[in-house]
Structure 1
Amino acid sequence: MAETAGDAEAPKTRGILAIVDHVVDPVLDLFDDVGATVLLFFRAVVWLVRPPLRVSQLLLAIEFIGAGSLFIAGLVGMFTGMAFTVSTIVGFRQFSAEGMVGGVVALALARELAPVLAAVVVTARAGSTMASELGNMRVTEQIDAITTMGVSPIQYLVVPRILATTITLPMLSLAFSIAGMFGSWVVAVLWQAIDPGVFFDRVETFVKFEDVRMLLIKSALFGVIVSTICCKKGFFASGGARGVGEATAKAVVSSIVAIFAADYVATTVMTDI
């Protein structure tokens, strides 16, 4: 009977252990992943202040991230501004306050929509490319070859990408915001016949320098986060082509989650409520 009872308890014990593994393992993996990402960032900072600065690599990265993402960021920004304006007009019309639409849309773009969505655009286009490029270099042993030649792969490959994204993303966010305001103007002034003088007066009234500063600070922060995560995922990829694909997918997902988490923290810190 004792053996029978023990045999009956064994599956329950294994089930409990399996549940614990499913809960604990992802948490441990998360901490390990975050720690490795933070460590890579600090190593990149150390190599950033040590000569030489890889200017050619930096300029190539700026061209790819900035010029390559500008049209997409502008297009997404315009449609975001148009859609947000339509929804805002519907709500404000109940209070006969359609004239405030321009200011509200401009404020939303500056404080939240432009930095967050521009960062998502850069993640989808440039971040995924960073992860896949570095991942392919890792699995084909090109990174090992760079190390063998006495060159730091972090200084040569990671630092230019992080620095370029940090420089470029604030500019893309400004372009996103301008395109969004153009889309808002099209809907509000040309379609809904809101007085253009009132529209731009509300923009000037609502948006202050602090809001533009928040846009720039957030965008630079998101640039650091996105580029570091994507570089880390690609730099430590393994498992051949399949591993590179998985690393790229994880880089995009992790970056987007980190963007929204960092946005909440940054907004809370920089807003007096």
Structure 2
Amino acid sequence: MKVLDKIGAYILFMGRIFTKPEKKKVYLKELTNELEKLGLNSVMLVMIISFFIGAVLTLQTAYNMSSPLLPRYLIGYLTRETLLLEFSSTIVSLILAGKIGSNIASEIGSMKITEQIEALEVMGVNSVSYLVGPKIAAALVVNPVLYIFSVFIGIIGGILSGLASGVVNYDDYIHGLHFAFNPYYVTYSIVKTLFFAVIFTSIPAFYGYNVQGGALEVGKASTKAVVDSSIAILLVNLILTKILL
């Protein structure tokens, strides 16, 4: 499938998602299930990664501030800015694109090759809205929450690593966290997480929905979905940064 044809097919696919669901109760039930699958099942992964990244950021910042003229509170400041602006929004979304995206592509792709999707269409159900809509809705709720959670855990990791290694004391680190804080950075990053949520759910769903063949093709579709989702996230990140900052 050529790039332009693929983009056109994706736009049509997205148009089918945002239609009024036939049965709201069933839709809400699926939404609840997806909130658990996308949210609760990702909390531990985000917590572990954010903790260690926050710790590493603090140590790297400290070791690169060898000049005695630089105040130590800048360690906390730079760690906070990195987590707020880029890591906890973009990098966490890239990680979720790998974890969640591959699962979505495999799940929908398996339904496609076993003709479960065709069965839904025969029953008069908008299969795209039914299967993909709740996933996107859940991701729009979950991703901003995971972003805030990631920032919080990353800061804790930074404080603990800074105190344990002795590169910064508690008061300086906390002062750095409060220094020159711009609330707009949080708004900017939350807006990004909303766009990223749509990307890492809809693109894998698109690949899974259009699988043709057997189990091998499902695996290939999952790989393509993760790669294309990651590229799209980086591209949208660049565009939004240019527009919003």
State the TM bucket, normalised to the shorter chain.
over 0.9
Q: 2:40 aligns with which of 64, 67, 85?
A: 67
Matched, 1:270 2:244: yes
Matched, 1:173 2:164: no
**TM-score (norm: length of structure 1):** 0.84
Residues of 2 paired with 1:164 and 1:182: CA distance?
27
**TM-score (norm: length of structure 2):** 0.93
The aligned counterpart of 1:216 is: 190
Identical columns (%): 26
Residues of 2 paired with 1:207 and 1:189: CA distance?
22
Residues of 1 paired with 2:167 and 2:86: CA distance?
27
Matched, 1:87 2:69: no
The aligned counterpart of 2:222 is: 248
Q: 2:24 aligns with which of 48, 52, 60?
A: 52
Q: 2:133 aligns with which of 156, 159, 177?
A: 159
Matched, 1:130 2:104: yes
The aligned counterpart of 1:146 is: 120
Residues 172-205 of structure 1: CA deviation (Å, up to 9, x unaligned): 1111111111111112233225221221122112
Residues of 2 paired with 1:233 and 1:252: CA distance?
10
* Count of residues in correspondence between the two structures: 243
Residues of 2 paired with 1:37 and 1:205: CA distance?
44
With CA pairs under 8 Å and 6+ residues apart, which has the higher RCO, 1 or 2? Answer: 2
Letter in 2 for 1:189: L
Letter in 2 for 1:55: L
Letter in 2 for 1:112: E
Matched, 1:100 2:98: no
Residues 107-164 of structure 1: CA deviation (Å, up to 9, x unaligned): 1111111011211221122111110000000011000000111111012101001111
Letter in 1 for 2:234: F
Residues of 2 paired with 1:39 and 1:106: CA distance?
40
Residues of 1 paired with 2:174 and 2:4: CA distance?
47
The aligned counterpart of 1:112 is: 86
Letter in 1 for 2:2: D
**Structure 1 residues without counterparts, runs of 5 or longer:** 1-27
Residues of 1 paired with 2:55 and 2:6: CA distance?
38
Q: Judge conservation of contact 1:66–1:168 (CA < 8 Å) in 2.
A: yes
Residues 69-106 of structure 1: CA deviation (Å, up to 9, x unaligned): 00001111111111122221122223433321111111
Residues of 1 paired with 2:140 and 2:16: CA distance?
16
Residues of 1 paired with 2:180 and 2:128: CA distance?
43
In terms of fraction of residues, the more helix-rich structure is 1
Over 4 Å off, 4+ runs: none
Residues of 2 paired with 1:158 and 1:93: CA distance?
51
The aligned counterpart of 1:20 is: none
Letter in 1 for 2:229: S
Letter in 1 for 2:148: L
Q: Judge conservation of contact 1:58–1:164 (CA < 8 Å) in 2.
A: yes
Residues of 1 paired with 2:236 and 2:137: CA distance?
19
The aligned counterpart of 2:49 is: 76
The aligned counterpart of 1:259 is: 233
